[in-house]
Amino acid sequence: MTETAPGIVIMGAAGRMGQMLVRAVCDSGRARLAGAVVRAGHEWVGQDVGHAMGGPAMGVAVSDDPLEAMARAQAVIDFTTPETTLETAHLAAQARAVHVIGTTGFDAAQIERLIPASRHSVQVRAGNMSLGVNLLTGLTKMVAAALDDGWDIEVVEAHHNRKADAPSGTALMLGEAAAEGRGVTLPEIADRGRDGITGPRIRGHIGFSAIRGGDIVGEHDVIFAGKGERIVIRHMATDRMIFARGALQAALWGQGRSPGAYDMVDVLGLAR
């Protein structure tokens, strides 16, 4: 590893994705772990991050000061909570660091509040950082554009029992792609959560269902249900490392790029 390799800070280093990201950066040979940040008062503060994760030392002490960590870095990868990501966006803008946002569960107002920071730093945000899901998104848009609204679109997702938000960021990304394929916007036609006497399904709506249980990493089906036939496009994630690798790729891709808001379609060079 050269000293010139981009330095990367991991926000929320003690989390499920945070630990994956620490490993992905250290194993990549293309980037340097410049910081590992946890919440103030967390028991890991001051420990070597490798030891805190139960392995060999990595030579980086865990910190609770994101700005100080970012001063030594070219990128910050952030899979935390919407509130924390909003704060990190301002710090990344000050430090002119690439901000890779994997966090999901933002509401529309929070997404608006991310915009000012993207005028000063490269921001890459995606509800799913894997190559497979980003391909699935493109396929979903294509199929939705090819079929009329006599085909009912349903997005079904399954995740582990600790997940905080529903539908998942990926499910919403897929719903948006389907809506775009039909030339409408998702909020007009989204059915999020059905219960009780819901009446017949409304033609043209896109439905969402969420399953929560065990240690499911992430599964997404986009169902196009027509008369007498059904198309199902499925992605199954079996290892969180796919998201960590995608996030690292985004952090490297962002180096030297003009400030702005980007997503994984840009990073992976996929057709829109």
207 is a site residue for ligand NAD (CB under 6 A): no
229-234 own/partner pairs: CB under 8 Å, 24+ apart: 231/143, 231/151, 233/136, 233/139, 233/140, 233/143
Size of the site for ligand NAD (CB under 6 A): 24
Please identify which residue in 118, 123, 128, 137 interacts with ligand NAD, judged by CB under 6 A.
128
Please identify which residue in 8, 10, 14, 114 interacts with ligand NAD, judged by CB under 6 A.
14
Please indicate whether residue 163 is annotated as part of the active site.
Answer: yes
103 is a site residue for ligand NAD (CB under 6 A): yes
Which residue of the set 141, 159, 220, 235 is catalytic? 159
By CB under 6 A, what part of segment 17-56 binds ligand NAD? Answer: 17-18, 37-39
Least Cα distance to 124 among 189, 181, 79 occurs for 79
C-beta of 27 vs 43, nearer to ligand NAD: 43
Sequence-ordered strand ranges (E) for the chain: 7-11, 32-37, 62-63, 75-78, 98-101, 122-125, 152-159, 190-192, 206-212, 218-225, 230-237, 260-262
Give every strand in the sheet of 32-37, ordered side by side: 62-63, 32-37, 7-11, 75-78, 98-101, 122-125, 260-262
CB contact burial 224-235 (16+ within 10 A = b; e otherwise): beeeeeeeebeb
Minimum distance between the CB of residue 6 and ligand NAD, rounded to whole angstroms? 20
Binding-site positions for NADP(+) read 39
By CB under 6 A, what part of segment 243-262 binds ligand NAD? Answer: 243
186 secondary structure, DSSP code:
H
Give every strand in the sheet of 218-225, ordered side by side: 190-192, 206-212, 152-159, 218-225, 230-237
C-beta of 50 vs 102, nearer to ligand NAD: 102
Convert residues 150-189 into a mask of x (bound to ligand NAD by CB under 6 A) and - (unbound). -------------------x--------------------
The stretch among 1-9, 79-87, 174-182, 199-207 that binds ligand NAD (CB under 6 A) is 79-87
C-beta of 7 vs 18, nearer to ligand NAD: 18
The count of residues in the chain is 272
The stretch among 55-63, 120-128, 190-198, 225-233 that binds ligand NAD (CB under 6 A) is 120-128
Q: Rounded CA gap, 21 and 32, in Å?
A: 12
C-beta of 33 vs 126, nearer to ligand NAD: 126
Residues near ligand NAD, by CB under 6 A: 11-12, 14-18, 37-39, 79-81, 84, 102-105, 126-129, 169, 243
Q: Which residues are catalytic?
A: 159, 163
